[in-house]
Structure 1
């Protein structure tokens, strides 16, 4: 803003010091600190939760107003960024300017467009933006995009254009309105560098065979959908480490026949080919048995199976999966009497005890009675 120009009574000019540079900000004095952090995010690439703002030797509290904290016109505020809590490769600052505006909250805008920012950082963060469609400007970022988060919106369609983001590593589409008819798996199958795919809380009923083409996947999250089956091609995901397919059912549907038609009732034996799996969550489905190939998952550490109709476990699970230390079997038909009869139970029981002891040593978890495994739990 040009010198001599009068400001609205509630607007103050402050200078934020960061990385050896000064960032001029104009903001309403009644704004809370959290608002200031939101303004600084696109300029510095530091996420709000990674920002510590200090003025006159005091750390500014998110919920308090600048006026209450005695941040006045001309105040100097220091920004300290927590390591790892930034977008892209690290904090950045672009050339900026002040512009004239009647907005009483802020008269500060970066010169760089958000598309340019996305290209610089490789990160597109649009969670909780009330989006109904994926913004067209995303496709302009093309090979620059490594992370795309459009979760918690109202998006219904995943178009084939996603295939143009060929360098995409992480894709978050959670909590939208995506259905089978509106998702282009052909487009997604072009994302050969994708390591994380998250589609939790949508309306998917099937997973296609093309899922098996995403051979770089390390994490696959498709919980709280309406899936009825898992394709055999899951076994082609040799790099997969975390698989969450829990709670696949129609909400507010209690009829027995309807439940059986809307939950996962079996797991393909090909899952045994996913040799890198470390954690699996299949809770709250309609599983009655698991394939013996679970014994091939020698790197498996955590297995969640609660709220299923299971009456037994694969005979080689405890013997072959020598890193397994957590098995959640609550609300299944499996008791500890059944578990003790499985070959390798003693070694597994020792591992879970050691894990629990480490948790207590580091004050992690509850201080109550150890409660893991079957409903009729074996107490140490």
Structure 2
């Protein structure tokens, strides 16, 4: 199927990790044409000589709405990747300007279907970069390069096959159509890191079940849904799985088959449901549902006793169940930007908690048991509904960062002057009624180096 590229000016041009321009790719030519037309219309409203009238603003709002709807149909981004500056260009090898045995990092940028045999003379080669080519196979002769560990493939315009290799430990494929990406990686028996991020229209989960050495799998910014994730594709040896910016709506039970996982990231997905089988990931230490569509914390999470970090920023969570207290190894808890009205009394059981982020919620009090969080160093409760100072905070003398801003607090506690470890204190946008006490405390804290925003 043909893919169509569109270069636009505003809100579409982005930068790759290397600071190189990327352009959106659409499934159909019709969408590309509509998008280009809209982009030109929108651009016409931002000329220096134009003053927007109310009717212009209404028209612009309508155009921007259509613009956003079309953006939802983007299936990937095409990036103009350039040779890494630390790599030697193949032309230096081809022209005899550099002796093969001295090349450690090589960049191949020719538009060809086969890698030239001369590359196998680079016996010191550890990294091979293939850019903007049409290579159909990582050939068997690469086995001669005993030091070759990592292969990077960018913008390859042909279906890539893999020959058996026992030395390559890292493979990255980027900017390539999903249909051109290998379906299995079992022939790379030493593979411990596979990065298939930022490809075009990639919607299937790769089969990594036979890669027993694989520890890290990156699938960031694709169109993966996990609906095709079968048990036969999973791998208990995997330690880290990165699924940010995909099209995942439901996390299926088969995710629970990655029993070796320690880190699992779902940031920026429209997830509304998570199967309880996620509770089978007993080794998990970090999980993130940053900016998903959850209305509650998935129940299976509370079975993960080894969790150190949970990120639930930007969801629609209203209630935190008492089961939160099960996570006694938790060190960092991100609950900000939700709709939370209260915390359970069991929060006092999180004895190892060091950082607690609760800003931008609907809290008006903290349970008394919060004072049991003796290891807490960061507490952000700004932009909530507190009208009285939460007394449990006064027991948290290990605090280094305390943000109280954006509430309607009135009485400032003198006890804060004894918080000798406090490095940052934020007080702005409250209704303090005892400014003399506040000034006294702030003066004491400032003398010990505390940065205060008041």
* Length-normalised TM-score, structure 2: 0.53
Paired with 2:335 and 2:177, the residues of 1 have a C-alpha distance of: 43
Q: Is the 8 A contact 1:294 1:314 kept in 2?
A: no
Is 1:264 the counterpart of 2:358 in the alignment?
no
Paired with 1:352 and 1:280, the residues of 2 have a C-alpha distance of: 19
Q: Which has the higher contact order (CA 8 A, sep 6+)?
A: 1
1:136 is displaced (CA, Å) by 4.3
Could you list the runs of 5+ residues in structure 2 that have no partner in the other structure?
1-77, 92-106, 120-124, 129-148, 152-159, 164-175, 187-206, 218-235
> Could you say if the C-alpha distance between residues 104 and 127 of structure 1 is closer, same or farther in structure 2, counting changes exceeding 3 Å?
closer
Q: Is the 8 A contact 1:288 1:311 kept in 2?
A: yes
Q: What is residue 394 of structure 2 aligned with on the other side?
A: 295
Q: What is residue 248 of structure 2 aligned with on the other side?
A: 131
Paired with 2:289 and 2:85, the residues of 1 have a C-alpha distance of: 30
Paired with 2:177 and 2:344, the residues of 1 have a C-alpha distance of: 55
Q: What is residue 414 of structure 2 aligned with on the other side?
A: 315
Is 1:111 the counterpart of 2:185 in the alignment?
yes
Q: Is the 8 A contact 2:126 2:150 kept in 1?
A: no
Q: What is residue 71 of structure 1 aligned with on the other side?
A: 109
1:31 is displaced (CA, Å) by 5.6
Q: Is the 8 A contact 1:228 1:265 kept in 2?
A: yes
Could you list the runs of 5+ residues in structure 1 that have no partner in the other structure?
1-29, 37-50, 59-68, 81-91, 249-262, 357-371, 375-380
Structure of higher CA gyration radius: 2
1:298 is displaced (CA, Å) by 2.2
Q: Is the 8 A contact 1:197 1:219 kept in 2?
A: yes
State the SS of the aligned residue for 1:303. strand
State the SS of the aligned residue for 1:280. strand
1:78 is displaced (CA, Å) by 7.0
Aligned partner of 1:161 among 254, 264, 277: 277
Q: What is residue 332 of structure 2 aligned with on the other side?
A: 219
Q: Is the 8 A contact 1:271 1:293 kept in 2?
A: yes
> Could you say if the C-alpha distance between residues 223 and 114 of structure 1 is closer, same or farther in structure 2, counting changes exceeding 3 Å?
farther
Aligned partner of 1:146 among 262, 279, 283: 262
> Could you say if the C-alpha distance between residues 222 and 52 of structure 1 is closer, same or farther in structure 2, counting changes exceeding 3 Å?
farther
1:71 is displaced (CA, Å) by 2.2
Q: Is the 8 A contact 2:295 2:316 kept in 1?
A: yes
Paired with 1:300 and 1:139, the residues of 2 have a C-alpha distance of: 36
Paired with 2:127 and 2:359, the residues of 1 have a C-alpha distance of: 41
* Length-normalised TM-score, structure 1: 0.62
Q: What is residue 178 of structure 1 aligned with on the other side?
A: 294
1:272-291 matches, cutoff 5 A: 272-291=371-390
Q: Is the 8 A contact 2:287 2:309 kept in 1?
A: yes
1:322-333 matches, cutoff 5 A: 322-333=420-431
State the SS of the aligned residue for 1:33. coil
1:312 is displaced (CA, Å) by 2.4
State the SS of the aligned residue for 1:171. strand
Paired with 2:251 and 2:85, the residues of 1 have a C-alpha distance of: 32
1:135 is displaced (CA, Å) by 4.3
1:236 is displaced (CA, Å) by 1.0
1:292 is displaced (CA, Å) by 3.0
Is 1:54 the counterpart of 2:87 in the alignment?
yes
Moved over 4 A (4+): 73-80, 103-108
Q: Is the 8 A contact 1:287 1:308 kept in 2?
A: yes
Q: Is the 8 A contact 1:246 1:284 kept in 2?
A: yes
Aligned partner of 1:247 among 360, 365, 378: 360
- Count matched residues: 269
Q: What is residue 81 of structure 2 aligned with on the other side?
A: 33
